[in-house]
Structure 1
Amino acid sequence: MPSMMDANVVLRLLALLRDGGCEIWVAGGWGIDALIGKVTREHRDLDLLHRVEQEPLLIKKLESAGFIEQPDAQPGRPARFVMKDHQGHELDLHPLRFEADGSAVQQANDHGGTFHYPADAFTTGMIEGVPVNCLSVAQQVAFHQGYEPSDRDRHDMAQLRTAFGVATHF
């Protein structure tokens, strides 16, 4: 079972990667908390998006901090991969290929499926008063569709509805 990710661990990892030359965006539950500007629940992992061409550097930086790729994580590559440290902190990493217009594509599977990110999907939020790159409200809402939501998903969408007045499908 993964160890909970608190804000100090998140900020330390974001600084490590940023200072190491990796451009990253926070997604998932931490991304929603960044948009809202406060921690609204416990988080068991940290979802990060990164430039696919920076992946070797990103892996090297994370390995230097004690993270090891977990090859059994499903679904796995090419859409995402998981790294975990000896304390159980878990990172869910999503490689993006950026286009000239600022949009990005994430490979979804080995059969040509993709996830699309419009250029305006990338914004800035705050974790403990520290600005962080994250996904936009609209992109978070879009990615929370088409599956049976968990209690965490329901919580996260309720937070976005309250903070931003957006409509969500659950």
Structure 2
Amino acid sequence: MPDVRMDATKVHEVLAALREAGCPCWISGGWGVDALAGRQTRPHRDLDLAIDADREPAAMAALVALGYSVETDWRPVRVELVEPGDGRVDLHPVVFERPGGDGRQAGLDGDWFDYPRADLTTGTIAGRPVPCISPRLQLGFHQGYEHRDVDRHDLALLRALTGTP
């Protein structure tokens, strides 16, 4: 079992800090799937967040103020921050074509991931609404790599939520 430290309280703490810093974000990954389900369905090692790339410095400063530090820096693709003994936040900077427009995140091999504005939605974690990405986008992001047990769990949940076989 992975080192599980990112609980719902930590998720809300990170979201509040980013909101205070004026940094729009949307939950993806495992917590994003659970937000869409409206309940926590499994333990989580980290919190994956798509953030507005223009606000990345503010997001980094907000997380550093919470005690996080950079562990993995693959910008512009992603940057992972850790808080000793407590949690991990994986930021994915998304460049938006204009305010309120669609976005695009750089990929590792020169490719990219599209974030249509229509796929930025709302879910629920611990009874509170949170920004997250749609089931359709989550399903798309689970393509092109070998799935781990947690990925298979998330895919099964996404398929149940969308009625996709």
1:4-23 superposed matches below 5 A:
4-23=5-24
Q: Shift of the alpha carbon at 1:166? A: 2.2
Displacement, 1:121? Answer: 1.7
Change (3 A) 1:131 1:42: same
Q: Which residue of 2 aligns with 1:94?
A: 92
* Alignment counterpart, residue 141 of structure 2, candidates 143, 150, 168: 143
Name 1:166's counterpart in structure 2. 164
Residues 1:132 and 2:130 aligned together:
yes
Q: Is the 8 A contact 1:144 1:153 kept in 2?
A: yes
For the 8 Å contact 1:2–1:90, the answer to whether it is kept is no
Count of residues in correspondence between the two structures: 163
* Cα offset, 1:113, TM superposition: 2.2
TM-score, length-scaled by structure 2: 0.92
Partner of 1:38: 39
Aligned-partner SS, 1:90:
strand
Structure (1 or 2) with the greater strand fraction: 2
Shift of 1:119: 2.0
Match of 1:28 in 2: 29
Unaligned runs of 5+ in 1: none
TM-score, normalising length from structure 1? 0.89
CA-CA distance at 1:112 after TM superposition? 3.7
Task: Find the counterpart in structure 2 of residue 60 from structure 1.
Answer: 61
Equivalent residue, structure 1, for 2:102: 103
User: For residues 27 and 8 of structure 1, what CA distance do their matches in structure 2 show?
Assistant: 17
User: Per-residue CA shift, 1:108-139, capped at 9, x if unaligned?
Assistant: 13x64221122212111010111111010100
Q: Secondary structure at the match of 1:29?
A: helix
SS for the counterpart of 1:70 is: strand
Identity %: 44
Instruction: Report if the CA contact (8 A) 2:4-2:43 is conserved.
Output: no
User: Helix, strand or coil: the match of 2:136?
Assistant: helix
Cα distance between partner residues in 2 of 1:137 and 1:143? 10
Q: 1:88 to 1:3 in 2, by over 3 A?
A: farther
Deviations 1:140-169 (A, max 9, x none): 0011111111110110011122233123xx
Structure 1 CA distance for aligned equivalents of residues 110 and 42 of structure 2: 35
CA RMSD of aligned residues (A): 1.6
Structure 1: which amino acid aligns with 2:132? Answer: C
Task: Measure, in 1, the Cα distance between the counterparts of 2:34 and 2:137.
Answer: 14
Question: Residues 2 and 89 of structure 1 are in contact (CA less than 8 Å); yes or no, is this contact kept in structure 2?
Answer: no
Distance 1:83 1:69 in 2: 4
Please list every run of at least 4 consecutive aligned residues from structure 1 whose deviation after the TM superposition is greater than 3 angstroms.
Answer: none
Query: Relative to structure 1, is the Cα distance of residues 95 and 41 closer, same or farther in structure 2, using a 3 angstrom cutoff?
Result: same
Q: Which amino acid aligns with 1:8?
A: T
